[in-house]
Structure 1
Amino acid sequence: MFAGIAKAIFGSSNDRYVKSLSPTVAKIASYEAAMQALSDEELAGQTAKFRDRIAAGETLDALLPEAFATVRESAKRVLGQRHYDVQMIGGIVLHRGEIAEMRTGEGKTLVATLAVYLNALNGQGVHVVTVNDYLASRDAGWMGQVYRFLGLSVGIIVPNLSDEQRRDAYAADITYGTNNEFGFDYLRDNMKYDRAQMVQRPFSFAVVDEVDSVLIDEARTPLIISGPTEDKSELYKLVDAVVKDIAPGDYEYDEKSKSVILTEDGTERVERALEAAGMLQGDNLYDFENTQVVHHLNQALRANVAFKRDIDYIVKDAKVIIIDEFTGRMMDGRRWSDGLHQAVEAKEGANIEPENQTLASITFQNYFRMYPKIGGMTGTAATEAHEFYQIYKINVVTIPTNVPVKRKDDEDEFYKNIGDKFAAITKGIREKQDLGQPVLVGTVSIEKSELLSEFLTKEGVKHNVLNARYHEQEAHIVSQAGRIGAVTIATNMAGRGTDIQLGGNLEFRMADEHSQLEAGTPEYEAAAARIAQEIVAEKAAVLAAGGLFVLGTERHESRRIDNQLRGRAGRQGDPGLSRFYLSLDDDLLRIFGPQTMFAKMMNKNLEDGEAIVSPWISKAIENAQRKVEARNYDIRKQVVEYDDVMNDQRKVIYEQRSDIMDAGAVDDVVADMRAETITTIVGTACPPGSYPEQWDVPVLKETLTDILGLDLPIEDWMQEERVEPELLVERIQSASDVQMEAKAGEIGQESWRDLEKSVLLQTLDQHWKDHLSTLDALRQVIHLRSYAQKTPINEYKSEAFALFERMLEAIREDVTRTLSNLSFRMAPSPFDNLPPMPDFVTTHIDPLTGLDDSADRDAGTMGLISTRLPPLQFAMPNLPAELASDPDSLDGKISRNAPCPCGSGRKYKHCHGQL
């Protein structure tokens, strides 16, 4: 009560913080007249002056008012757009490393130019992170005009660039790219064998667009670079056949966690079926020998029971393609891990692709926490403010709108069942369409969107459907969703990247209706002028009808996703209306809601087709959403806790790799490894405190022969009077040193140094890859320790540390064994008869595009590409058209390791670039 009174009198903490920025905004405005008086050359010259002042010790905060005023005037001249005062507030918030929550249509893209320009002045580079390649290219070209006018360089990171092109882009003052590209480049850099091959430079400042999507939605799964393993497709098919014969009574299904567990009777039936199929060792399913079969059985159960076609995935061209739960988009190339995707492929009779083994991995949480400062922008972040602070230590600031919001948000309407609800929705849509008011309908799955489409078709309501099946038409459908009487059904609207303008979109109408006309011709201009007039008239009619009506067919698990849908209406002061229609059959109510209360109240008191509209029920739904959000936050927090353990180890490994690459010679490192290995060997065979007659001399000799390649007279040394383990270590070490010097002399010191470095890096990478697999397996089972009253995360930390120590010991031993047992002979050229390298696949959820960036198989650095690449003009948009049309003219202009632009799928050096 007192908090409410205080808020009414003094405003919220957010209001007070925004108000505290007013003096800075006023100071920026005070420079406006001076900036207007400058010529273009003088305005562009401000950048050099600012950099001189930074070199003299002036801080970015001190430069902020003048720098922001410079950008405002530059944008006005170059783009014809002047930053509003509220956009200045957004720029200050970004510069301070905070998240600016700005409503849809408030100009977030323009806001970013302020903080990006200011932070690029120190020359350390600024990364602007977008959610898809289209937005990265669009924003780099659009806002890049302002930066280039002011003398700053702009780079862009998109798939299928060569290392040279990536290095140039990262060397620019400002670099645009997607979260996936930045993260994968970091992982790839730490798989390189030479510092000169790396493309990124040290991190400084990042501005993340759609920050809630990048740092929350996508943070549930890590970025993974993987390579193929053995093909086990027959095993998947056999296990799937067994699972398909299981009756529903043979298992228990928890819909909330999507877990499926066999009952006692079910286990017995499965054992008999597996035995008949010849897949069971012994007679017990849970014997150690059947571990792999049990794993695949569990995944096949989940695939057949928990994962639904047209909700979790679709089957297209004999391929299983995941559907993202946040946007309803296809994620072509993205695959579930741990054999689950193969199990779904077996279920659907699709082509089963081999599993992949993780070679490198990192979560977005740990990737973005490497930046000293991060700013973020989105339309919906306030509901996740707690998580942003807990995980990233970033505050969320809600920026006021430039024009007051006129959208009206109606209370939810509740119906007894889904049939009544869809009938009411259809009636509501027809009424609005008759008035000429455009309607945007938000659904949560393809299944629901197509079911509603059937209802509308039966009623004769003309409409468009936007879901994963019609992904190609997306931009055109969304762009025209604001026209008179338009009805658009969308499977979530998060990050669609296309603005809904009332009356229609000129650019897309020209593309749809006059694609044959060339821009700039009199015919094109005449048609554009005519359509522009039609749009103005149509917008006036739509405004008179009440603006865009946003209709939600059910509540999402997250309030933030609901707010994203609502935010499509009421853009820049336009009128609008939003309303959600709910029923007891909705997933949120069915799985998470207070079922007893709702069921009793609605079944007893509601007639068929009758609705309840109550703020109290809406509040109850919001509380259910809060519970789900808290649960999902706990899941993401757990992901971070576990990845933090791996992250500490990742830093050690990557720092060691970096030190090795930077070192001119690693002979001292190799010598230390050999010394530690020898000490361990002797300590194992000759335990401290034991007598010589208790030593295991045969094992010692055998181990020395295996690891060091030395046949030493250990028995003779044992005949001496005062033989000690330290003496053995000293003599073995001396013999090994002589052996290494002789090997180095055979090929020369320079070649030997390169060989040592190469062996060290390759051994490190191999063991790190195996270690990642071990940690993945450990994490799958560590929760079982809770049955012994132990905390799983603490147990995981302890086990992971022990495994890491063992890995370091194994690396020392393997490096020593490899170098000690090397023999040299004349061999054919290393470039003759090379076996083809496997494809390395990059995977990560991208709910905003449905694309996984797996087309960027190796960025021209990791291996051969098995799929045909797009033509050069798409793969490398920065190159001139004449080069794209003639691959032979590219000699010297393209990396020899880059994919050949002819589309053959081979590297340039093996195709048109052959010597």
Structure 2
Amino acid sequence: MFAALARALFGTSNERSLKAYQRRVPEINALEPAIQALDDAALAAKTVEFRQRLEAGETQDKLLPEAFAVCREASRRVLGMRHFDVQLIGGMVLHAGRIAEMRTGEGKTLVATLAVYLSALAGKGVHVVTVNDYLARRDAEEMSQLYGFLGLTTGVIVPNMMDDDRRAAYAADITYGTNNEFGFDYLRDNMKYTLAEMVQRPFYHAIVDEVDSILIDEARTPLIISGPAEDSSDLYRSVDEAVARLVREEGVYEKDEKLRTVILTEIGSETIEEILREAGVLHEGGLYDVHNIAVMHHVQQSLRAHTLFQRDVDYIVRGGKVIIIDEFTGRMMDGRRYSEGLHQALEAKEHVEIQPENQTLASITFQNYFRLYPKLSGMTGTAMTEADEFAEIYNLDVVEIPTNLPVQRKDGDDAVYITAKEKFEAVADLIQEIGRTGQPILVGTTSIEKSELLSSLLTSRGVKHSVLNARLHEMESQIIAQAGAPGAITIATNMAGRGTDIKLGGNAEMLIRQQLEAIEEEAAKEAAVLELREEIARNHHEVKELGGLFVIGTERHESRRIDNQLRGRSGRQGDPGASRFFLSLEDDLMRIYGGERMASLWTKMGVKEGEAIIHPWLNKGLANAQKKVEARNFDMRKNVLKYDDVMNDQRKEVYAQRREYMAMDDVSGIIQELREQAIEEAVHARIPEKAFAEAWESAELEEDLFRLLNLRLPVQDWASEDGMDAEMVIQRAEEAAAQAQAARAANIGPDIMRHIEKQVLLTTFDGVWKEHLHALDQLRQGIGLRAYGQRDPLNEYKQEAFQLFNVMLDDMRNRVTVTMSRLQVMHEPPPVLAEDVAAATPRGELSFAGASFGAESPYATISGPPGFERVTPAELPGGVPLTPVTGTLPGATTEAELHGMMAETPRNAPCPCGSGKKFKHCHGRLA
């Protein structure tokens, strides 16, 4: 009551925001005559003037009216488009770091130019983020004309670009690209070995187009850079065959479609164990025994693949590959893969080649990536329904911008049928009825399967139509270009031309581009363009008279935004239009959320086959069901993000530390500090505080220091000296290690040693970080079980993740120390290694513990600590030849001796390889 009274007196928060922006519009308009009076050169010179004023201390907010007026006039001259007043408001919303919700067809691409231009004046780089590569290229190409006229540079990031080209694109004032390209470049940059190799500049301002799709829908899947793990394709196939037999049985699993989960019943567990034993997969014990945990994981993923994921709904098979279909846009997500072995399980199910599993090398969620930008804003036609999530996760407010012209679309009430068959028959009847008039129709479906079902139904009735889905996505632009023409009937799977307007009469620009490709003569081109424009103008008038585009939805989506996006294709820029949704009790939303109650209600009401219920109350009930689903999905995303935030804090620390190392010319001080810390830890582990020499573990300490420093130090002799304590042992060990390191540096050469030290530091850091990510993944998978012990899984995860992070730092310190203590100069290359090294690695690259150097040189090898491998050698940067180096394992001079030592090593003893780890955690690890 009080909220309603406050809204009546003061208006909603959206109305108050709009009033504040509207007050600045007259100020911009008042500048128009003076700006129009400038010639092209004077107008372009305004950019230089604005930049000078910013450097002198003037703020962007103060510059806004003039900058917007200049941008609008430049757009009028270059693009032939003048910003409407509501578009000026949209630009102000973007500049303020908020989300502008503007209906389809209101010109969001043009709106963005205002905020982009103003932000780009700072010279720090503005990123314009789009949902696909086509839109990135298109918008960059069109809008670069405007920005170029005003003296600004534009770049675009697309897949498969070389680093030099990417660096140049990021160096531009404005950079267009997709969320995937920007995110992966960030991860790749943090795996480089010099600052000069990095492509991105420090982040400044990102403007996200279709912000709901990118920051909410796509944000469910993190970006991951991974490397190959062990091949287990045979196990996936064997388990798939077993699960395929299992799911034919009754009562073997329980499925929850609301939560998208499936679990084996007790009968199911016993049955699958029998099948796996017959197949020779399960050798001993039960499925849930610790040593069979990997098999259990494969079974669970295969069960999900068979029961929760449908071909042509969740994925398609094309070219021998399983390709994910985006649930919200219907587009194929080539290159994206489900994690944790689920994608391999789907490949086994579909009997295509099983790609090897991957181990995570770097990852980030879109939520945490976009929160790296000091300033973030976005635009879309449908954001209000997710306003709470934008505010809580991204600190972004949503402002609903009024349309330039009143909306004339008529939205009909939903028609609900008992069965899907009746529903599709009714849809086909309506399409035929409307189609006879010539009014264009857009039909939205939720899957490829249903689009093809409706298509076959229309074909059987002789109705000419086009189908747009993930199978036919290559034809998207051609189909959408004609979707508003008289008589056009288009079936689209959750796509409905996102990013491309469906214009009444046809899309002139797209049709012109398509038809001019086949014409070579200029005179013929001009005649064709003129003829096309006249035809489209006639068609536009005809379609308006017929009532505009008629949108038919064949199902309600879990998210109201997707339904609104489909409806929004009709009634753009004040055009007439209509929309209506057809549903059945067999639809997923109706079936999962209240289908049984509604079915009994239908029976009581005496609804007969082929009849529909149409009532505004149904619309309201469905909207409430959708709200509940959206709230549940938000809670799930928020919970996932809470866990990822823990990793994100650690990621920030690691990447910041890594960049600091990269920026340093000389890291020898860091290497020394790590060595001293490792020595201190080793000594204090064997010499108790204030203990007499008799209580020292002197012999063990000698071995520990040998493994760590590759030096035989007389600790037992030191222990017999009067007044000797732990601090004196540490001091002597540090002095001995420093002398040995100085001798190595003198032999190798200071320049080469500085380079090697830096590479060892960075590659070791990368190695332990990769292992840490894997450990966090393992921890995350089982942490939910802590709730059964009345403990908060999130708090438990935070504590254990922090402990693992400290373990990672300790591991790094020891590995760096062990590696550097085993560098030696050899005068001749090891003769045995030349052939197999040359065959294994392309000549001209040197991989030093995973880092690439460059050019050619004699062969080199470093062995000892895990992670080192035989490599082809190289010339160091600057043309310095690399001296062949090798390392030796403590106590073992041959591979045979090493194997002998390992065979006799107790599992809790230190590993003979010198890694500093226990044998059971290193070379004695169970496969």
Shift of 1:437: 1.0
Q: Counterpart in 2 of 1:833?
A: 838
Q: Counterpart in 2 of 1:276?
A: 278
Whether contact under 8 Å (1:415, 1:583) holds in the other structure is yes
Shift of 1:436: 1.1
**Residues in 2 aligned to 1:776 and 1:492: alpha-carbon distance in whole angstroms:** 33
Equivalence map 1:645-724=2 (5 Å)? 645-724=646-725
Shift of 1:66: 0.7
What residue identity is the alignment partner of 2:353? N
Q: Counterpart in 2 of 1:581?
A: 582
1:393 equivalent to 2:401? Answer no
Q: Counterpart in 1 of 2:902?
A: none
Q: Counterpart in 1 of 2:794?
A: 793
Shift of 1:84: 0.6
Whether contact under 8 Å (1:54, 1:122) holds in the other structure is yes
What whole-Å deviation, never above 9, does each CA across 1:682-720 have from its counterpart, x for those lacking one? 122223354433333332222212121011112211222
Whether contact under 8 Å (1:154, 1:174) holds in the other structure is yes
Shift of 1:435: 1.4
Shift of 1:195: 0.8
TM-score norm. by structure 2 comes to: 0.88
SS at match of 1:489: strand
Shift of 1:617: 1.4
**Residues in 2 aligned to 1:684 and 1:9: alpha-carbon distance in whole angstroms:** 72
Aligned counterpart in structure 2 of residue 325 of structure 1, from 327, 341, 347: 327
Q: Counterpart in 1 of 2:499?
A: 497
Q: Counterpart in 2 of 1:725?
A: 726
1:439 equivalent to 2:441? Answer yes
**Residues in 2 aligned to 1:2 and 1:634: alpha-carbon distance in whole angstroms:** 28
1:48 equivalent to 2:48? Answer yes
Pick closer, same or farther for the CA change 1:817–1:397 going to 2, 3 Å. same
Q: Counterpart in 2 of 1:555?
A: 556
**Residues in 2 aligned to 1:11 and 1:405: alpha-carbon distance in whole angstroms:** 22
1:162 equivalent to 2:162? Answer yes
SS at match of 2:840: coil
**Residues in 2 aligned to 1:74 and 1:366: alpha-carbon distance in whole angstroms:** 36
Structure 2, gaps ≥5 residues long: 844-850, 855-927
Range that drifts further, 491-500 or 309-318: 491-500
**Residues in 1 aligned to 2:852 and 2:583: alpha-carbon distance in whole angstroms:** 51
Equivalence map 1:224-373=2 (5 Å)? 224-246=224-246, 247-373=249-375
**Residues in 1 aligned to 2:610 and 2:8: alpha-carbon distance in whole angstroms:** 41
Shift of 1:507: 4.2
What residue identity is the alignment partner of 1:741? A
What residue identity is the alignment partner of 1:765? D
TM-score norm. by structure 1 comes to: 0.89
CA RMSD of aligned residues (A): 2.0
What whole-Å deviation, never above 9, does each CA across 1:854-900 have from its counterpart, x for those lacking one? xxxxxx9999xxxxxxxxxxxxxxxxxxxxxxxxxxxxxxxxxxxxx
Q: Counterpart in 2 of 1:133?
A: 133
Shift of 1:515: 4.5
**Residues in 1 aligned to 2:636 and 2:256: alpha-carbon distance in whole angstroms:** 17
Whether contact under 8 Å (2:699, 2:715) holds in the other structure is no
**Residues in 2 aligned to 1:570 and 1:316: alpha-carbon distance in whole angstroms:** 36
Whether contact under 8 Å (1:432, 1:485) holds in the other structure is no
1:820 equivalent to 2:825? Answer no
What residue identity is the alignment partner of 2:788? Y
**Residues in 1 aligned to 2:237 and 2:744: alpha-carbon distance in whole angstroms:** 52
Q: Counterpart in 1 of 2:485?
A: 483
Q: Counterpart in 1 of 2:859?
A: none
| Stretches of 4+ aligned residues off by more than 6 angstroms | 829-832, 860-863
Q: Counterpart in 2 of 1:615?
A: 616
Equivalence map 1:466-615=2 (5 Å)? 466-493=468-495, 496-510=498-512, 515-518=517-520, 521-591=522-592, 593-605=593-605, 606-615=607-616
**Residues in 2 aligned to 1:535 and 1:765: alpha-carbon distance in whole angstroms:** 59
Shift of 1:192: 0.6
Whether contact under 8 Å (2:385, 2:560) holds in the other structure is yes
Whether contact under 8 Å (1:50, 1:63) holds in the other structure is yes
**Residues in 1 aligned to 2:2 and 2:708: alpha-carbon distance in whole angstroms:** 75
Shift of 1:546: 0.7
SS at match of 1:555: coil
Q: Counterpart in 2 of 1:873?
A: none
Range that drifts further, 390-399 or 333-342: 333-342
Whether contact under 8 Å (2:123, 2:173) holds in the other structure is yes
SS at match of 2:578: strand
**Residues in 1 aligned to 2:767 and 2:638: alpha-carbon distance in whole angstroms:** 29
Q: Counterpart in 2 of 1:63?
A: 63
Pick closer, same or farther for the CA change 1:444–1:827 going to 2, 3 Å. farther
What whole-Å deviation, never above 9, does each CA across 1:794-833 have from its counterpart, x for those lacking one? 1111111000000000000000000011222146699982
What whole-Å deviation, never above 9, does each CA across 1:295-323 have from its counterpart, x for those lacking one? 11111111112111111112222221211
**Residues in 1 aligned to 2:38 and 2:509: alpha-carbon distance in whole angstroms:** 34
Shift of 1:156: 1.6
**Residues in 1 aligned to 2:853 and 2:553: alpha-carbon distance in whole angstroms:** 46
Equivalence map 1:97-176=2 (5 Å)? 97-176=97-176
**Residues in 2 aligned to 1:346 and 1:156: alpha-carbon distance in whole angstroms:** 38
Shift of 1:656: 1.0
SS at match of 2:467: strand
Whether contact under 8 Å (2:418, 2:584) holds in the other structure is yes
Pick closer, same or farther for the CA change 1:203–1:451 going to 2, 3 Å. same
Whether contact under 8 Å (2:699, 2:716) holds in the other structure is no
Shift of 1:772: 0.8
SS at match of 1:21: helix
Structure 1, gaps ≥5 residues long: 839-859, 864-915
1:411 equivalent to 2:407? Answer no
Whether contact under 8 Å (2:447, 2:493) holds in the other structure is yes
SS at match of 2:316: strand
Whether contact under 8 Å (2:83, 2:110) holds in the other structure is yes
Q: Counterpart in 1 of 2:13?
A: 13
Whether contact under 8 Å (2:219, 2:367) holds in the other structure is yes
What residue identity is the alignment partner of 2:312? D
Whether contact under 8 Å (2:244, 2:306) holds in the other structure is yes
Whether contact under 8 Å (1:478, 1:498) holds in the other structure is yes
Shift of 1:131: 1.4
1:426 equivalent to 2:436? Answer no
Q: Counterpart in 1 of 2:90?
A: 90
Whether contact under 8 Å (1:206, 1:375) holds in the other structure is yes
Shift of 1:521: 1.8
What residue identity is the alignment partner of 1:354? P
What residue identity is the alignment partner of 1:428? L
Compare relative contact order (CA 8 Å, sep 6+) and give the higher one, 1 or 2: 1
Pick closer, same or farther for the CA change 1:69–1:511 going to 2, 3 Å. closer
Q: Counterpart in 2 of 1:907?
A: none
**Residues in 1 aligned to 2:480 and 2:603: alpha-carbon distance in whole angstroms:** 38
SS at match of 1:735: helix
What whole-Å deviation, never above 9, does each CA across 1:343-362 have from its counterpart, x for those lacking one? 11111111111011111111
**Residues in 2 aligned to 1:776 and 1:166: alpha-carbon distance in whole angstroms:** 31
What whole-Å deviation, never above 9, does each CA across 1:387-442 have from its counterpart, x for those lacking one? 11101111100111111110111111111111111111111111110111111011
Identity across aligned pairs (percent)? 58
Whether contact under 8 Å (1:441, 1:552) holds in the other structure is yes
Whether contact under 8 Å (1:326, 1:494) holds in the other structure is no
What residue identity is the alignment partner of 2:233? S
Whether contact under 8 Å (1:416, 1:603) holds in the other structure is no
Pick closer, same or farther for the CA change 1:513–1:367 going to 2, 3 Å. closer
